């Protein structure tokens, strides 16, 4: 029975019910097995694809459901709320926005229908590099125009799902940094067809991480990409990627709210049942208060996610709200994770409770896709008007 305190607003009830129904087929035992072996949740991703959830943002004319970020956020929140892991495929939702907003009519007709039907996966997003880190405009991967193709050389790091995706959205330099007047200029977005590229200019090395995340390192050596796969105009790619980042932050924030609600419900159930010194541990305010605080922070974060998603869908500026949502939700999920582990005492560390797995999974969102410090820096500079620090 679902605890109503963690049910959210009740908005999009049909979507919530449908996602819950799907996720019920992928219980903790399924995820624990994958986690142990560090294998990809193929059946889960296929089920989400078949149900159309991953195509929610693709317009109906291209075979998707033409819904908004509010619905997409609801889907991802419920996935996490059910202790599943949307990180296996969430990127398809926000990466696709770059193609949708900046792709040519030909590119959209070519790529969006097979992505919507699930025939092709667009789940790899190649931005981060080993030497540039968060300083994206210093990235070094270079795509040199040569007639009707680009020749790509360089390296990406943390390119998640590259081994499980057919397409990669790649951000590369097309004009050297020294030759542009603004550091954000001279970067371009290419759609790389990994089916052709692997073994023909691309090598992918998996990186084993503290959670099951299918992340990789990708090496480009004279990779040929048809010039027709350039998205939008050459040199303007940084802006295109930035455009998609608000959606990404809102969706990740929604996942964190889902995580937090799962942790909170687990905490309340256990604290009510576990008897120590002849009374439920939840009767002690030392146990109650961290849970209550994490609950308050989760509900506040959920409101901000909703506000940001509504603004995004109605075309209003939402940089402030998307960043606040990501910051508050990642903090709330981490607090909820911490209080859940503590509430469970030793049992929190046992695999079968799924808490330690979710604890590891939700920790990522303090760092990726953007770290907490960088969000604070955005708020300080762009919202509060404090002096630029970097
Ligand atoms: C599991 C995983 C999956 C990922 N998936 C993808 C993916 O699919 N595609 C992709 O492109 N990237 C991906 N990333 C990369 C992720 O976006 C970056 O790790 C993240 O943006 C932080 O960059 P960095 O690791 O280079 O940290 P760095 O930039 O090296 O920063 C290290 C630390 O220093 C802090 N810091 C840096 N500069 C400042 C400053 N000026 N002020 C204050 N603090 C600062 C940061 O906040 C951070 O805590 C993934 C990362 C992980 C771990």
pLDDT value of residue 11 = 84
Q: Are strands 149-157 and 215-226 parallel, antiparallel or unpaired?
A: antiparallel
Residue 126 and residue 59 share a domain: no
Measured distance CA(211)–CA(371) in Å, rounded? 18
Tokens (6 digits) for 346: 């030793």
Summarize the confidence of residues 370-379 as an average pLDDT.
98
In the predicted structure, residue 89 carries a pLDDT above the cut 90: yes
Residue 246 and residue 234 share a domain: no
pLDDT value of residue 5 = 79
In the predicted structure, residue 30 carries a pLDDT above the cut 70: yes
Domain boundary among 212, 238, 264: 238
pLDDT value of residue 154 = 98
Its domain, for residue 109, covers: 4-117
Residue 283 and residue 352 share a domain: yes
Residue 184 and residue 153 share a domain: yes
Active-site positions read: 248
Residue 228 and residue 256 share a domain: no
Name the closest-CA residue to atom 43, ligand 1. 373
Does 346 fall in a domain? yes
The count of other CB atoms within 10 Å of the CB of residue 11 is: 11
Q: Which atom of ligand 1 is nearest to the CA of 371?
A: 47
CATH number at residue 75: 1.10.540.10
Residue 212 and residue 273 share a domain: no
Ligand 1 lined by 209 (C-beta under 6 Å): yes
Tokens (6 digits) for 73: 């956020």
In the predicted structure, residue 376 carries a pLDDT above the cut 90: yes
Residue 79 and residue 167 share a domain: no
In the predicted structure, residue 171 carries a pLDDT above the cut 60: yes
Residue 25 and residue 81 share a domain: yes
Provide the pLDDT confidence category of residue 375 given band limits of 50, 70 and 90: very high
Residue 18 and residue 71 share a domain: yes
Of the listed ranges 4-18, 85-99, 161-175, 333-347, the least confidently predicted one is 4-18
pLDDT value of residue 3 = 74
CATH number at residue 167: 2.40.110.10
Number of separate domains in the chain:
3
CA of 239 to the centre of ligand 1 (A): 19
pLDDT value of residue 261 = 98
pLDDT value of residue 10 = 73
pLDDT value of residue 9 = 67
Does 188 fall in a domain? yes
Summarize the confidence of residues 222-236 as an average pLDDT.
98
Residue 109 and residue 25 share a domain: yes
Residue 243 and residue 204 share a domain: no
Average pLDDT, the chain: 96
- Residues 131 and 158 sit within 8 Å (Cβ to Cβ): no
Ligand 1 lined by 368 (C-beta under 6 Å): yes
Provide the pLDDT confidence category of residue 6 given band limits of 50, 70 and 90: confident
Q: Which atom of ligand 1 is nearest to the CA of 91?
A: 8
**pLDDT digits 0-9 by tens, 292-351:** 999 999 999 999 999 999 999 999 999 999 999 999 999 999 999 999 999 999 999 999
CA of 280 to the centre of ligand 1 (A): 42
Residue 270 and residue 360 share a domain: yes
pLDDT value of residue 290 = 98
Backbone angles phi, psi at 337, to 5 degrees: -65, -45
In the predicted structure, residue 36 carries a pLDDT above the cut 70: yes
CA of 134 to the centre of ligand 1 (A): 5
């Amino acid at each position: 029975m679902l605890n109503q305190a963690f049910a959210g607003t009740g908005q999009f009830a049909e979507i919530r019910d449908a996602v819950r129904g799907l996720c019920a087929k992928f219980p903790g035992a399924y995820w624990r097995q994958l986690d142990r072996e560090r294998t990809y949740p193929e059946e889960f991703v296929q089920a989400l694809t078949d149900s159309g959830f991953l195509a929610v943002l693709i317009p109906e004319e291209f075979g998707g459901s033409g819904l908004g970020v509010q619905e997409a956020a609801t889907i991802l929140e419920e996935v996490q709320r059910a202790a599943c892991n949307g990180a296996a495929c969430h990127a398809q939702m926000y990466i696709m926005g770059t193609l949708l907003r900046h792709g040519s009519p030909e590119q959209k007709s070519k790529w969006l229908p097979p992505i919507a039907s699930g025939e092709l996966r667009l789940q790899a997003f190649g931005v981060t590099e080993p030497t540039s880190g968060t300083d994206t405009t210093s990235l070094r991967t270079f795509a040199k125009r040569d007639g009707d193709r680009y020749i790509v050389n360089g390296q990406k790091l943390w390119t998640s799902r590259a081994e499980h995706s057919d397409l990669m959205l790649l951000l590369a330099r097309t004009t050297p940094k020294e030759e542009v007047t603004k550091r954000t200029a001279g970067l371009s977005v290419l759609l790389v067809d990994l089916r052709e590229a692997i073994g023909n200019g691309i090598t992918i090395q998996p990186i084993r991480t503290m959670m099951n995340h299918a992340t990789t390192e990708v090496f480009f050596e004279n990779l040929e990409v048809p010039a027709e796969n350039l998205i939008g105009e050459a040199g303007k790619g940084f802006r295109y990627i930035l455009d998609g980042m608000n959606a990404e932050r809102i969706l990740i924030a929604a996942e964190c709210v889902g995580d937090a609600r799962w942790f909170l419900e687990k905490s309340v159930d256990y604290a009510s049942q576990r008897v120590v010194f002849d009374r439920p541990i939840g009767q002690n305010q030392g146990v109650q208060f961290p849970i209550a605080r994490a609950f308050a922070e989760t509900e506040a974060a959920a409101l901000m996610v909703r506000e940001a998603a509504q603004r995004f869908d109605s075309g209003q500026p939402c940089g402030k709200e998307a960043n606040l949502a990501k910051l508050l939700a990642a903090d709330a999920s981490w607090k909820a994770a911490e209080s859940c582990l503590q509430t469970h005492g030793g049992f929190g560390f046992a695999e079968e409770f799924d808490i330690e797995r979710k604890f590891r999974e939700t920790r990522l969102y303090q760092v990726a896709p953007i770290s907490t410090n960088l969000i604070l820096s955005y708020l300080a500079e762009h919202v509060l008007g404090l002096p630029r620090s970097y």
